Amino acid sequence: SSNSSSLLLRPGMVLLRGYLSLSDQKKIVERCRELGVGVGGFYQPGYGEGVEMHLKMMCLGKNWDPHTSQYGEQRPFDGAKPPLIPPEFHTLVSNALRDSNALFPHDPLPSISPDICIVNFYSQTGRLGLHQDKDESKDSLRRGLPVVSFSIGYSAQFLYGDHRDPDKAQKLQLESGDVLIFGGPSRNVFHGVTAIDTTTAPNLLQHINLRPGRLNLTFRQY
């Protein structure tokens, strides 16, 4: 359901504004809640990571460890195996990439079979420092396989650019239902979340049954 406000932000970086329907968002919230309270569910990454992480995290498919920046099949701190990526998430990701390529045929991005999804939950004070997603395989990075990111709940002030310096970054408000894709020449873009906007859409959270905060899912192919 991508609409006319979808944007090619820069080569290889697409914003599908309002792509996820409310009903899709609600289902994603519900599924993440179920998975989040089970084995391998949400935890709070400690401080002293490479990147400032003020959020709760869970991995699906593979584990990504913020301490070592390594992928693995289990979480080092409790041995849990991450839950599988639900099949309906796979469908949403491949549809989003297909629709993005149809909107911007001059900048096609390769499709992916995501084997890792990082689910972040930002409370009202949540944030995430500027970083690159560069821990996937050399092959995945070399091919520019896109990262596909779903935003649900409160809006986020999102920064992106070619440098780690926030003053040099572009600003973007990511809203509930937005899908952001970055691959190809934008695969190594620096990005992060400076603040959560708690003033957005007061009825939205009730509709999608999310506690106050923001849920973000990023899908990648290791």
Q: What are phi and psi of 111, to 5 degrees?
A: -80, 165
193 binds ligand AKG (CB under 6 A): yes
- Number of neighbours of residue 86 by Cβ within 10 angstroms: 17
- Asked if residue 118 binds ligand AKG (CB under 6 A), the reply is yes
At 135, list the tokens: 């821990």
The count of residues interacting with ligand AKG (CB under 6 A) is: 13
User: What is the rounded distance in angstroms from the CA atom of residue 54 to the CA atom of residue 182?
Assistant: 23
Binding status of residue 75 toward ligand AKG by CB under 6 A: no
What's the min distance (Å) between Cβ of 195 and ligand AKG? 12
On whether the CB atoms of residues 13 and 160 are closer than 8 A, the answer is yes
- Kindly tell me the sign of the dihedral angle through the C-alpha atoms of 43, 173, 148, 138: negative
Q: Which stretch binds ligand AKG (CB under 6 A): 35-43, 97-105, 148-156, 182-190?
A: 148-156
* Number of Cβ within a 10 Å radius of residue 32: 23
Between 99 and 178, whose beta carbon lies closer to ligand AKG?
178
Q: Between 16 and 174, whose beta carbon lies closer to ligand AKG?
A: 174
Single out the residue of 121, 154, 158, 190 in contact with ligand AKG (rule: CB under 6 A): 158
190 contributes a contact to ligand AKG by CB under 6 A:
no
Task: Confirm or reject binding of residue 187 to ligand AKG (CB under 6 A).
Answer: no
Q: Which long-range contacts (CB under 8 A, 24 or more apart) does 43-46 make?
A: 43/77
Interacting residue ranges for ligand AKG, rule: CB under 6 A: 118, 120, 128, 133, 149, 151, 156, 158, 174, 191, 193, 216, 218
